[in-house]
Amino acid sequence: MKLIILRTNLKEGLSALERAATDNSQLPILKNVLLRADKQLVLAATNLEIGVTYTAAGKIVEPGSITVPLAALHSIITNSASERINLETHENTLEVQTDNYDAKIQGISSEDFPIIPKIEDNTHQLEIEAAALQEALTQVVGATQVSDLKPELHSVLIKYESGALKFAATDGFRLAEKTLLDNSFTTNFTNGFSVIVPLKTVSEVLRIFPTDSTVRVQIDPHQIVFTTDSIELVSRLIDAEYPDYTQIIPKAVTSEVVVSRSEFLAGLKLVSGFSGKGSDIRLKIREGGGELEIYAADQYVGENNYLVPIKKYQAGEVLELSFNWRYLIDGIRPLVGEQISLGFSSEAKPAIIKPVGDDSVFYIVMPINPN
């Protein structure tokens, strides 16, 4: 293999692949990147759970292939000052040359590299702008948590039915759902589908796809593939039954307030320093409905409170509820819009948070039992 490539093109490709490679004492080749030169340079990496392929433009002098440690090659390309990179293989060694630099990296034959699986049925696909996909995922992913016992709680549900594409995430204490209507995507799926995508895969979708690209989504019973013109990400799906979260969505609320999203977030951050180990803060609608009080106290630190002006108040029972402030911030931060509504029912029922004027997304969080 022999080729010439721009440093920028190679760096972008290696950066897209860097989290797909992994150290594995049983399979050392999993820390390697596959370089295959034919008409273009194709880079690939996999940890057997996800696989990423990147196609980079370059001048191919001689076709060929090799695998080398991704971290070593990435470090060279990232720190090189030269824009033109020469790559050439000599048996299982990759030589990297610039005008003033030369390195020889020990590699492993490409024949030993794991096969990255393909979708069995590629006749159906869904196309969506990367920016819309990433915004939807960002608005729900904060409701997940790390769980080895229940991997479905460490994931995002993607569901297509009745012309709507839903994204949902929950960890049992909070829930987020985002709905995109069919004017936000195109598809030739004739039937609906429901898949559970691991959080690590979601993180890569958020990281590696340019916001100005169009993403094609294909699925089969075991895998999901996200593809653009230059990047392909294939991932295993989680084989589990997703919780029926619709049961906990409040049908109605007894009290509702509208506040500035940015001021509410600022208040949470300010007051949270006194929340103690439980990370709990208290929310209370002041008499008359003019202000929302955020309060926290710790016996070893002290107490503090912050008053957020209420823009709009739907009268109801004046409640005093405690929440994990981190959970509130995780759900509110990715919402779009200056104002949010907070709906409350009782001390034992979840609160529902939505951007004002946008019914496509909501976030639900359980209060902390005062007992």
**pLDDT (tens digit per residue) in 69-111:** 999 999 999 999 999 999 999 999 999 999 999 999 999 999 9
Q: Residue with structure tokens 């169009």?
A: 214
Q: Give Dmax over CA atoms of the chain in angstroms.
A: 79
At 50, the pLDDT band (50, 70, 90 cuts) reads: very high
- Tell me which of 3.40.190.10, 3.10.150.10, 3.40.50.1100, 3.30.420.40 is the CATH number of domain 2-112: 3.10.150.10
Residue 353 has pLDDT above 90, yes or no: yes
In the chain, the percentage of residues whose pLDDT exceeds 90 is: 82
Instruction: Compute the distance between CA of residue 137 and CA of residue 157 in angstroms, rounded to an integer.
Output: 10
Residue 319 has pLDDT above 80, yes or no: no
Residue 338 has pLDDT above 90, yes or no: yes
Residue 229 has pLDDT above 80, yes or no: yes
Per-residue confidence (pLDDT) for residue 11, from 0 to 100: 97
Assess whether the region 2-112 and the region 250-365 belong to the same CATH fold.
Answer: yes
Residue 43 has pLDDT above 70, yes or no: yes
Q: Which CATH superfamily is domain 250-365 in?
A: DNA Polymerase III, subunit A, domain 2 (3.10.150.10)
Per residue in 158-211, pLDDT (tens digit) is: 999 999 999 999 998 999 999 999 999 999 998 999 999 999 999 999 999 999
Helix (H, G, I), strand (E, B) or coil at 321: strand
Residue 369 has pLDDT above 80, yes or no: no
Residue 54 has pLDDT above 60, yes or no: yes
Work out the average pLDDT over 243-272. Answer: 93
Residue 16 has pLDDT above 60, yes or no: yes
Work out the average pLDDT over 249-258. Answer: 91
What rounded mean pLDDT belongs to the chain? Answer: 94
**Segments making up each domain of the chain, as ranges:** 2-112, 126-245, 250-365
**CATH fold of 126-245, please?**
DNA Polymerase III; Chain A, domain 2 (3.10.150)
| Enclosing H/E stretch for 364 | strand 361-365
Per-residue confidence (pLDDT) for residue 146, from 0 to 100: 75
- Of 184, 126, 157, give the one whose Cα is nearest residue 360: 184
Per-residue confidence (pLDDT) for residue 34, from 0 to 100: 98
CB 209 within 8 A of CB 226: yes
Residue 370 has pLDDT above 70, yes or no: no
Instruction: Compute the distance between CA of residue 332 and CA of residue 347 in angstroms, rounded to an integer.
Output: 20
At 318, the pLDDT band (50, 70, 90 cuts) reads: low
Residue 371 has pLDDT above 70, yes or no: no
Per-residue confidence (pLDDT) for residue 72, from 0 to 100: 97
